[in-house]
Amino acid sequence: MSEHKRVLIVGGVAGGASAAARGRRLSEEAEIVLFERGEHISFANCGLPYHIGEVIAKRESLLIQTPESMARRFNIDVRTRCEVVSIDPKAHTVVVRDLDGGGVENVEAYDKLILSPGAEPVAPPIPGADLPGVHTLRNIADMDAIKQAVDAGGPERAVVVGGGYIGLEMAEALTLRGVEVTLVELADQVFIAADAEMAAPLHQQLESHGVDLRLGVSVSSIAADGAGLKVGLSSDEFVECGLVIMAVGVRPETKLAREAGLAIGSTGGIAVDEHMQTSDPDIYAVGDAVEVTEFVGGGGALIPLAGPANRQGRIAADNIFGRPSVYRRTQGTAICKLFDLAIGMTGMSEKALAGAGMSYEKVYTHAASHAGYYPGAAPLSLKLLFDPETGRILGAQGVGADGVDKRIDVLAVAIRAGLTVEQLQDMELSYAPPFGSAKDPVNYAAFVACNVMAGDVKLCHSADMLAPGDGQVLLDVRTRGEVDGGTISGAMHIPVDDLRGRLGELPAGKEFLVFCAVGLRGYLACRILSQNGIACRNLTGGYKTFKAFSERGIG
């Protein structure tokens, strides 16, 4: 194989930059040209909201590589402000428009082409969405524009449209800058990748930081209003503000690929095989523009994440330079910080499993992020989804102020390795009081799942508590003081420590839906009941999960 290849790369961020660097390490002789429409390559796009919020003080720190440093270190021909406007796959050429050169167009030939165009913000057809003061946030220029508006002291209030990553991070950033924020989200929860009851703490977090959260609401219009803007909502209300951030999501940027006749997947991303090769064998595509295969369920999916984009860039370069390396699907491991909380997930959510018609069981745990007696421990809620037949771990979500990233990463490896909940319970994790517990929250979640698998306890879920069947009785096994602080309507009460002596008080022939605060005492109560021949189920996650579930939509 000759290495005197000419490789063109479209897009200089994440996947494109990774492909360029990897390509050079594999071949000193190849000619590698990187085209980037914007001014900057390889910038830290995940850092943009944090510079607006002044958490990251220096703008330059977001510019990881400059065109000059990339050119010098990797001998890459970097051409910024150059937009590739068309591809001729037969001729093996692209047309490049020089945005600073009066739009002059040149034809460039390639042996291999790598597309890394990314994803573009979805622009809903809202009247007024093109007004000055309405922004999206995708690149350094967008960031500069928003920051300038805030620095100038213009907006007293901003409306952030969309409760995904960018929406949540911008709500935080603007709040930190002293701007009042109204966050509008069409769904009944923010961070819709996660399940609603796991996102519920984010709603409380937003409200406790003064964000005006509007769930189940969309924007119907934006109008100029003196020096500001007037945002009309589907609830027939209006919000006056000085700034609107449109962050309703992104979609793959596929125009170039479509026009070149490349195959597009059913999800709307560029179709690629496991080598990141498109339907044209000399064209590769990577990053947020491509359709990936979801790891657990195997379906096609759009999962725009920085880690996978970087890996895909590396793999495309590998294959171009004679190494048949393989991209092994995307499992959607993700995390988002929101003020003092983090929410993370990996694998499939419950809604994704239900949508795919896959069989699953779920358990919830609420443990401390590290030994409770050591300062700084914070509550950590985990949701573990697993196959009830095989015990295979299908997905996990976590929310809390501390240690979420660690547990999600542990569970991400477990899912990637195809482990079962039985294997997870044996996992030997690092323990000292500042860092964890002798039984880590991950072990503990696995214990709970294994108890279900072993038939030691039957579970019930929050929805069951709201509509118990005829033969079912709710049984609260917490202390008197806990019950006085609130319980589930209709529950009878016997503290677990008294249960052995008070079994006679239980009505005969019933199934008891047992609950405690988080599920631990409920499990013990169920063991006592079932060994005494009394039918019972334990509410997984206890009253804490019930509260999150029943109040999930309350912003």
Does the footprint of a copy of itself cover residue 149 (CB under 8 A)?
Answer: no
Task: Give the separation between CA 313 and CA 14, rounded to whole angstroms.
Answer: 8
Does the footprint of a copy of itself cover residue 119 (CB under 8 A)?
Answer: no
Q: Which of residues 237-276 bind a copy of itself (CB under 8 A)?
A: none
Nearer to a copy of itself, 256 or 305 (CB): 305
* Active site residues per annotation: 46
Q: Which of residues 302-331 bind a copy of itself (CB under 8 A)?
A: 305-311, 323, 328, 330-331
Nearer to a copy of itself, 259 or 426 (CB): 426
State the alpha helices, DSSP H only, in 426-495. Answer: 441-453, 462-466, 480-484
Inter-axis angle of helices 165-176 and 196-208, nearest 10? 20
Residues 6+ apart with CB under 8 A from 375: none
Task: Give the separation between CA 395 and CA 484, rounded to whole angstroms.
Answer: 35
Q: Which of residues 272-301 bind a copy of itself (CB under 8 A)?
A: 295
Per CB under 8 A, the list member of 139, 177, 374, 487 interacting with a copy of itself is: 374
8 A C-beta contact, residue 45 and residue 13: yes
Nearer to a copy of itself, 413 or 554 (CB): 413
Q: Which of residues 491-550 bind a copy of itself (CB under 8 A)?
A: 496-497, 500, 523-524, 527-528, 531-532
Does the footprint of a copy of itself cover residue 32 (CB under 8 A)?
Answer: no
8 A C-beta contact, residue 70 and residue 17: yes
Task: Give the separation between CA 182 and CA 180, rounded to whole angstroms.
Answer: 7
Per CB under 8 A, the list member of 375, 455, 486, 504 interacting with a copy of itself is: 375
Nearer to a copy of itself, 38 or 344 (CB): 344
Report the run of H or E that residue 521 belongs to, with start and end.
helix 520-531
Question: From the CB of 457, what's the least distance to a copy of itself, in Å?
Answer: 9
Please say whether the dihedral angle defined by the alpha carbons of residues 181, 186, 189 and 194, taken in this order, is positive or negative.
negative
8 A C-beta contact, residue 138 and residue 117: no
8 A C-beta contact, residue 6 and residue 114: no
Q: Which of residues 444-483 bind a copy of itself (CB under 8 A)?
A: 454, 456
Tokens found for residue 37: 């429409």
Does the footprint of a copy of itself cover residue 553 (CB under 8 A)?
Answer: no
Question: From the CB of 2, what's the least distance to a copy of itself, in Å?
Answer: 14
8 A C-beta contact, residue 60 and residue 77: no
State the alpha helices, DSSP H only, in 371-468. Answer: 404-416, 421-425, 441-453, 462-466
Nearer to a copy of itself, 217 or 516 (CB): 516
Question: From the CB of 262, what's the least distance to a copy of itself, in Å?
Answer: 25
Q: Which of residues 376-435 bind a copy of itself (CB under 8 A)?
A: 405-406, 408-410, 412-414, 416-417, 419, 423, 426-435
Per CB under 8 A, the list member of 145, 335, 401, 492 interacting with a copy of itself is: 335
Question: From the CB of 360, what's the least distance to a copy of itself, in Å?
Answer: 20
8 A C-beta contact, residue 182 and residue 63: no
8 A C-beta contact, residue 298 and residue 157: no
The angle subtended at Cα 430 by Cα 426 and Cα 436, nearest 5°, is 100
Tokens found for residue 263: 């195959």
Nearer to a copy of itself, 13 or 488 (CB): 13
Nearer to a copy of itself, 6 or 416 (CB): 416
Question: From the CB of 268, what's the least distance to a copy of itself, in Å?
Answer: 22
In this chain, which stretch among 58-66, 89-97, 150-158, 480-488 interacts with a copy of itself, using CB under 8 A? 58-66
How far, CA to CA in Å, does 399 sit from each of 109, 154, 376? 50, 34, 16
In this chain, which stretch among 78-86, 115-123, 273-281, 370-378 interacts with a copy of itself, using CB under 8 A? 370-378
Task: Give the separation between CA 350 and CA 271, rounded to whole angstroms.
Answer: 26
| # of chain residues touching a copy of itself (CB under 8 A) | 85
Nearer to a copy of itself, 258 or 323 (CB): 323
